[in-house]
Structure 1
Amino acid sequence: MTGRDRARSGGRRAVGLLAAGAAVALALAAGGSVSQAGAATEADTANQAAAAQAKKPAPTHSQIQLLAINDFHGNLEPAGGSGGNINGIPAGGAAYLATHLKELRAAAKAKGQQSVTVAAGDLIGASPLLSAAFHDEPTIEALNGMGLEAASVGNHEFDEGWRELLRMQTGGCLPDGDGQNNQNSCPDAAHPFEGATFKYLSANVFFENTRQTLFAPYTIKTFEDGRKVGFIGMTLENTPNIVTKAGVEGLTFTDEVETANALVPVLKEKGVESIVVLLHEGGFPADRTAYNSCPGISGPVVDINANLDPEIDAIISGHTHQGYNCSLPDKDKKPRLVTSASSFGRLVTEVRLSIDNATGDVDRVNTLANNQIVTRDVVQDARTAKLIAKYKSLVAPIENKVIGHITTPSVVRTPDDSLESPLGNLIADAQLADPSVVSGGKVPVAAFMNPGGIREHLLSNNGEVTFGQAFTVQPFNNFLVSMDMTGTQIKALLEQQFSGVNGPEAEKYKVLQVAGITYTWNPTAAAGSKVVAGSINIGGQPLVDGTTYRIVTNNFLSDGGDGFPAFTTATNKFFGGLDIDAFANYLTAHDPYTPVATDRISVGS
C-alpha cells in the first residue's frame, strides 16, 4: 500500500469512526439503545484519544504574565497637561488603570497563563490634593483594589517619614485634627485605614548599625504549577539626598547592585531560579516618545544593569518617569529585559515571562514585554470610580476654597535663559514674607527655592486661584526653615548650582529660585567660578564674605537636599510653618497677584 493509499485508508477510517459516533449519538437522542459493537467502537475511539494524549510531549515552557507600574504618585484622577497623555493620547487615571489591568489578566487567563502585578516605587508622595489631603490613604486603597501584590519603596514614599510609611503598610489612623492643617486621616470613621494588602519591599534600606531592613528585602511568588519567581525590592540609594532628613533619620541606604547581588544565592537556596529586580532608579532614552524601545538610553539604570548578577533575569525600573522597554546585555553579554512604565499610571508594562520547566529559569530569548497605554476609551472600573468619588466629596471643602486671584491666565514655572521663572519668583517671595520663620526678631533677607519642588504651573479659573491649584504647585508639605549664613557660605551655595551633582554631567543645572538676592552667572566659566565676581547683591547691597545674613528655605534644602551641602553649614536654624501655607497666604495677601519680571538672575560674563 502506498503512502497515498494509507492516507486515504486512514481518512476513510476516520470518517467511519465519526459516523459511528454520530450513530450512537442519534440512537441515544431517540431513546434507543446501542449495540455491543457500536459501544466497543466508541470505547476504542476514547482509548485511542487517551493514548494520543499520553504520547503528547509535556510543554517545555510555562508562560507567566507580569504586570508592572511605577511612579504613580497618587494620581487617582488623570493628570493635567503633558502629564495626562502619552504622545498626545489621553492616558492615566486609576479607574481606567484598574480596567486595563483586569482586561490584561483576563486575556492571560484565557490562554492558561497565571499573572502577578508589581510596582517599582513612588506610588505615593508628591501626590495631588485628592490623595495627599488624606495622607495618601486613598491611593493605597485604590492599589489594593487593583490587585497589586508587591512594590519596591521609592524615595517619595519617605515624604512623610519612614514611620508614616510603616503605617501605609500596616494601617491605622493619625490624630491630625480632622483636616485642620488641610489633611485628614481616616475621614470616614466607619471605615478606618487598614493599610496596604500588597508587600512593600526594600532590600537596601537598613536601620542604622543593624542588618535589619525597614521592609522585607524580597518576596517569592509561587504559582499554581509550582513555578517560583523571586522579586527583590530596591530603593534609590540617593534617597537621603533628595528627601527631608527627618524622613530617613536612623536609616542607612546601601548600594543597589551590591545588595541585589548578595540576595541571589539566598533566593537560589530557596529554589528560586527566576529573579526580577523592582528597581526605583532609571534611565533616559534619547527619544522619549519611543516608550516601547530604549534608543540611546543613558542614566544610572544602564550601569546598574551592567553590574547586576547575570542570574537576575529582568529589571522593572522607575524614578525617571520615562517609558522604555528593551533588552540590555548583562555581564555575561546575555540579553536582560529592562523596562519602565513612565509615570502617573499612563502606561502599564506587560511581561510574558517564559519559564523553562526543566530548570525553572527564565528563557530570556522567548520572554517578551509591551508597554501598553492606559487609554480612557474603556469603561472605568466601578469600584475604583466609587472610591474616587467618595474622596472627591470629602476633599471638596479644602480643594475649592478660593485663596486669591491672578491677573494672567497662569503663572508659569518655565524658566528663561538664566533659569529663573515667574512662578519661582512668586514662591520665593512668599517664603521671604512668611512671618512664621521670624525668630527672635531676626527677619530673613533672602529666600531660596529648589526648582524641582515646583511641580506644575499655577493655573486659575477665570482668574480665581483655589487651594487645590496652589497645592498642585507645591505638594510636598515641607516646612520653612530660617537660618544664618555668611556671605562666603552663600557664595558656595550659588556655585553648587553648577557643580557637584548639579554640574555639567547632570541633565541640567539646578538653579535655585530666589528673593532678596540678585547675581550674574557665566555659562562658559569653569565649574566653581560660574558666579561672576562682585555681582551678588543681597538686600540691595553687595554681598560681604564675613557678614552673616538671615535666609529662609524649605527643610528639604536645609538638610542639603538636591546637592546643596552649603545649607547644612548654616547655623541658628528655626522651623516655621508649611511651605504650601506660606504660598497660599501670600496669594491672599497680594490679591490680585501680577507676575513680576524675571530680573533677579542674569547671564553674562
Structure 2
Amino acid sequence: MHGAPQRTRARLRTRGARRRLALAGASAALFFVPALSAAADGTAEPGGDGRTPVQLLAVNDLHGNLDAVPGPAGSVHRKGPNGELEQVQAGGVSRLATLLDRARERARGAQSLTVAAGDMIGGSPLLSAAYHDEPTVEALETLGLDVTAVGNHEFDEGPEELRRMDAGGCHPKDGCADPNRPYDGADFPYLAANVLPRGAEKAGKAERKPILPPYWIKKLPGGERIGFIGLTTKDTPSVVSASMTKDLVFADEVETIDRYAGELDRRGVKAVVALVHEGARPPAKTYDATCGKDGAADRLDGRIQTIAEQASPKVDLFVTGHSHEPYMCSVPDPAGQPRLVTQSASFGRTFTDLRFDIDRRTGDVVRSSARAEAHAVTTDTPEQQRVDRVVEKWRARSAEMADEPVGYISDDIPGRGAPDPETPLGDLITDAQVAATREAGAELALLNWGGVRSDLTYRASGKEGDGVVTYGEAFQVQPFDNPLVTMVLSGKQLLTVLRQQFSGENEGYPQVLQISDELRFDVDMSRTGADRLLTDTVRVNGEPVDVSRDYRVTVNDFLSQGGNGFSELKEGTDRQSVTRDLAAFTEYLKSRSSPEAPIAPPKADRITWR
C-alpha cells in the first residue's frame, strides 16, 4: 500500500473559482423541504440593506465512501405520494460534487463555504482505506471542502496519523506512491478544539493547547469574518480503540465551545459556527426531518440537544455529525433565542444547504435570516468529472485486490441497513469469528453493532456477477481489520456483559450485540436498564448459563478494551489472538460457499424481543 501523489497548491488555489461553475446540462432528482427558519415567526429574506448573504454547504460522516453504499445502508427515506415512507438509493462523492456545484450556482451573490462535522475518513471502504484515506482527502479538496471538525473515526489510526493526514508526509510503514512526490496533506484545516495531549488538562486554561487548531476564521471579501469552532464528542475514547486515544484527553463540549466562542468574540469575530461531531435522533425518519416547533415532543433525542441548549449564545448555529441521522432543528440557546442545529445523512447520501445573513454593521449573524434545506444525493445524479477522475484514478490502483471473489450469497444479507438490532449479516460475521478462533477454544462470539459497516447485496455492483462477494465488498463490511481476541469469561461475567447492552453508558441508547449461533437470549424493552435482559433465558449451546463455569468468548480488539460501554470485557483473562476480523470473514466466505452452494441469509432469530 502506498500514499497518494502530491497535489499541487496551484491547482487547488483555483478551486474556489471552478466550484462556482454549474455543470452545463446536468440534471438530478432533488428533494426540497420548506425553508426552516430559526425564528419563531417565519424566515426573513436574506441579503437586505446592510447585510451580506452567506451559504454553508454541510456534510458529515462520509467515512471514505467515495462510491454510493449499496443496499439499505446506502438509502434515504422520503415521503411517498400517499405519505408513506419509501427508500431511495443515494450517495457517491462525484454526484455530491455535482449537487454542491448546483447549490453554489443557485446561491449566486452569497458567500459560499463548504464545511464538514467529522468522520470524513475512517471505517472506509478499500478504495480509500488501501491508501490510508488519502484518496478521500484528495476528493474532498477537489469538491471544495473549506474546513472540517475531527470526529472519533479520525483517530482510528491514532493522533500521529491524523497529524499526517493534516500536514502531509509518507505513511511510516507503507510509504508513498511516488517517493519524489510525497503526500502533501489536506488543503483544508482540521479543527480539534477539545482534543488535548494527556496532561494538558491539568494546566491553566490559557495553557491548554489542543493537538490541532481549535478554530478557523474565514474573512469574506467585504471584510466580514466567520469563526468556525471544530470539536468531537467527549465520548471518543469509548467509541475508538483505547490504544489509539490513550495519550489524549477529550474535553467537555460545552466548556470548549464557550471558551473559544469567547476568544473569537475578543478578537472581534461575532459570527460563529460550531462544527460538532456529536448528534442525536430526530423525531422523524425522512432525510429532510425537522423539529423544534412543537415543544418537548418535537426535540432531538440525544446529547447535541443539551449541548446546543447550554453552549454560549455567541455561537449562531451548529453543524453536527456522529449519529448519521439527518435533521434541521431549532434549539433555544441559553438566552432563549432559537438557533439552527443541523446534520446530514452519513456516507454522502445528503447534504444541507444553510443560508443566513451577516449584519455588516455588527459583523454578527442575523438569526432570523437563518434557514436550511436538505438535499438527497440520488444515484441518478450525473457525476462531476473533476471528482470522478480522482475516484477512478484510485480505483484503478486498487482494482485487482478489490475485485477478487471471496464468496457467494443467495440473496441480500442486510447488516448496517437492517431494520432490527440483530442483523443477518451480524449473525454471519459472528459465526465466522467463532469458526476462525476455534483453535483458541472459542465457544461463542460477540460483536458491536457498529462493527458492521455495510450490507452484502446479491445484485452485482461491478463485473463480478450477481451473488458474488468480492474482497472489496467484504472489506466494506469489515474495514477496521481488528485483531480478534479470545478470552475467558465466567458465566457471571458473560451475563454482566449482556446486561451492559442496556445499562451504564448504554442505558439511554442500547448497544445490542451481534451474537453467534451458540448464544440465545430474550429481551423485554418494557423494562429499564439491565433488567431488559431476561437472565433466565440466556442459553449457550442450548444450556442455561452456569455462573460458576468459564466460557471462551471471542470479541474484536475494540470490545476487548471495553469499547461501547462494555467495561466487563476488560476483565476477561487468558487472552489469545490468532487472526483478524476481516481475515476471519473472508476465509469463512471462501470455505463455506461456492457458486453451486451460496450462503443464505441467516434468520436473525437469536434474540427474542418480548
TM-score range relative to shorter protein:
0.7 to 0.9
2:185 matched to which residue of 1?
195
Matched, 1:514 2:512: no
Distance change (3 Å), C-alpha of 1:214 and 1:417: closer
In 1, Cα distance between the equivalents of 2:350 and 2:535? 48
In 2, Cα distance between the equivalents of 1:539 and 1:263? 55
Out of 217, 220, 225, the residue aligned to residue 223 of structure 1 is 220
Structure 2 counterpart of 1:234, one-letter code: L
In the TM superposition, what whole-angstrom CA distance separates every residue of 1:268-289 from its partner, at most 9, and x where no partner exists?
Answer: 1211111110011122221221
Segment drifting more, 509-518 vs 533-542: 533-542
Out of 445, 453, 456, the residue aligned to residue 455 of structure 1 is 453
TM-score using structure 1 length: 0.81
In the TM superposition, what whole-angstrom CA distance separates every residue of 1:13-34 from its partner, at most 9, and x where no partner exists?
Answer: xxxxxxxxxxxxxxxxxxxxxx
Distance change (3 Å), C-alpha of 1:383 and 1:479: same
Please state how far the C-alpha of 1:465 moved relative to its aligned partner: 1.8
Segment drifting more, 156-165 vs 226-235: 156-165
What are the equivalent positions in structure 2 for 1:440-451 lying under 5 Å apart?
Answer: 442-451=440-449
In the TM superposition, what whole-angstrom CA distance separates every residue of 1:473-516 from its partner, at most 9, and x where no partner exists?
Answer: 2222222112222221111111112222333x32x551332343
In 2, Cα distance between the equivalents of 1:415 and 1:466? 19
1:560 matched to which residue of 2?
562
Please state how far the C-alpha of 1:596 moved relative to its aligned partner: 5.0
Please state how far the C-alpha of 1:207 moved relative to its aligned partner: 0.7
8 Å CA contact retained: 2:91, 2:347: yes
In 1, Cα distance between the equivalents of 2:526 and 2:223? 61
Distance change (3 Å), C-alpha of 1:470 and 1:516: same
Matched, 1:291 2:288: yes
Out of 496, 502, 510, the residue aligned to residue 492 of structure 1 is 496
Please state how far the C-alpha of 1:412 moved relative to its aligned partner: 3.2
Please state how far the C-alpha of 1:362 moved relative to its aligned partner: 0.9
Q: Identity over aligned residues, as a percent? A: 39
In the TM superposition, what whole-angstrom CA distance separates every residue of 1:312-348 from its partner, at most 9, and x where no partner exists?
Answer: 1111111122222243221111121211122222322
Distance change (3 Å), C-alpha of 1:597 and 1:121: closer
1:309 matched to which residue of 2?
312
Please state how far the C-alpha of 1:413 moved relative to its aligned partner: 3.4
Matched, 1:207 2:201: no
Structure 1 counterpart of 2:549, one-letter code: T
8 Å CA contact retained: 1:292, 1:370: no
In 2, Cα distance between the equivalents of 1:153 and 1:563? 22
1:23 matched to which residue of 2?
none
Matched, 1:144 2:141: yes
Structure 1 counterpart of 2:449, one-letter code: P
What are the equivalent positions in structure 2 for 1:15-34 lying under 5 Å apart?
Answer: none
What are the equivalent positions in structure 2 for 1:332-347 lying under 5 Å apart?
Answer: 332-347=335-350
1:97 matched to which residue of 2?
96
Q: Which has the larger radius of gyration?
A: 1
1:29 matched to which residue of 2?
none
In 2, Cα distance between the equivalents of 1:516 and 1:366? 58
Partner-residue secondary structure (3-state), 1:327: strand
Please state how far the C-alpha of 1:59 moved relative to its aligned partner: 4.1
Matched, 1:548 2:546: no
Partner-residue secondary structure (3-state), 1:282: coil
Please state how far the C-alpha of 1:415 moved relative to its aligned partner: 11
2:263 matched to which residue of 1?
266
Structure 2 portions without partners, runs of 5+ = 1-47, 79-86, 201-207, 293-297, 459-464
Out of 169, 174, 177, the residue aligned to residue 171 of structure 2 is 174
8 Å CA contact retained: 2:503, 2:530: yes
Distance change (3 Å), C-alpha of 1:353 and 1:395: same
8 Å CA contact retained: 1:60, 1:358: yes
In 2, Cα distance between the equivalents of 1:465 and 1:379? 27
Structure 2 counterpart of 1:591, one-letter code: S
1:36 matched to which residue of 2?
none
1:16 matched to which residue of 2?
none
2:323 matched to which residue of 1?
320
8 Å CA contact retained: 2:71, 2:456: no
In the TM superposition, what whole-angstrom CA distance separates every residue of 1:273-311 from its partner, at most 9, and x where no partner exists?
Answer: 111100111222212216163262322221111101111
8 Å CA contact retained: 1:204, 1:255: yes
8 Å CA contact retained: 1:160, 1:247: yes
In the TM superposition, what whole-angstrom CA distance separates every residue of 1:421-480 from its partner, at most 9, and x where no partner exists?
Answer: 432222112111225x85xxx522221112222223323443322112212222222221
Distance change (3 Å), C-alpha of 1:401 and 1:189: farther
Matched, 1:65 2:55: yes
Structure 2 counterpart of 1:320, one-letter code: S
Distance change (3 Å), C-alpha of 1:355 and 1:603: closer
In 1, Cα distance between the equivalents of 2:566 and 2:530? 13
Please state how far the C-alpha of 1:363 moved relative to its aligned partner: 0.9
What are the equivalent positions in structure 2 for 1:47-66 lying under 5 Å apart?
Answer: 59-66=49-56
Segment drifting more, 221-230 vs 87-96: 87-96
8 Å CA contact retained: 1:78, 1:84: no
2:394 matched to which residue of 1?
391
Structure 1 portions without partners, runs of 5+ = 1-57, 178-184
8 Å CA contact retained: 2:70, 2:455: no
Matched, 1:366 2:369: yes
8 Å CA contact retained: 2:423, 2:514: no
In 2, Cα distance between the equivalents of 1:85 and 1:546? 47
2:468 matched to which residue of 1?
464
Distance change (3 Å), C-alpha of 1:227 and 1:430: same
Out of 294, 300, 304, the residue aligned to residue 303 of structure 2 is 300
Distance change (3 Å), C-alpha of 1:599 and 1:365: closer
Structure 2 counterpart of 1:206, one-letter code: L
8 Å CA contact retained: 1:86, 1:373: no
In 2, Cα distance between the equivalents of 1:402 and 1:434? 19
Matched, 1:402 2:405: yes
Partner-residue secondary structure (3-state), 1:550: strand
In 2, Cα distance between the equivalents of 1:311 and 1:417? 40
In 2, Cα distance between the equivalents of 1:200 and 1:119? 10
Structure 1 counterpart of 2:512, one-letter code: K
Please state how far the C-alpha of 1:419 moved relative to its aligned partner: 5.1
In 1, Cα distance between the equivalents of 2:416 and 2:160? 35
Distance change (3 Å), C-alpha of 1:305 and 1:599: closer
Distance change (3 Å), C-alpha of 1:491 and 1:63: same
In the TM superposition, what whole-angstrom CA distance separates every residue of 1:365-404 from its partner, at most 9, and x where no partner exists?
Answer: 1233322333556543222111111111112111111112
1:160 matched to which residue of 2?
157
2:70 matched to which residue of 1?
80
8 Å CA contact retained: 1:291, 1:322: no
In 2, Cα distance between the equivalents of 1:300 and 1:253? 15
8 Å CA contact retained: 2:482, 2:558: yes
In the TM superposition, what whole-angstrom CA distance separates every residue of 1:218-255 from its partner, at most 9, and x where no partner exists?
Answer: 11111221111110001011111111111211111111
Partner-residue secondary structure (3-state), 1:580: helix
TM-score using structure 2 length: 0.81
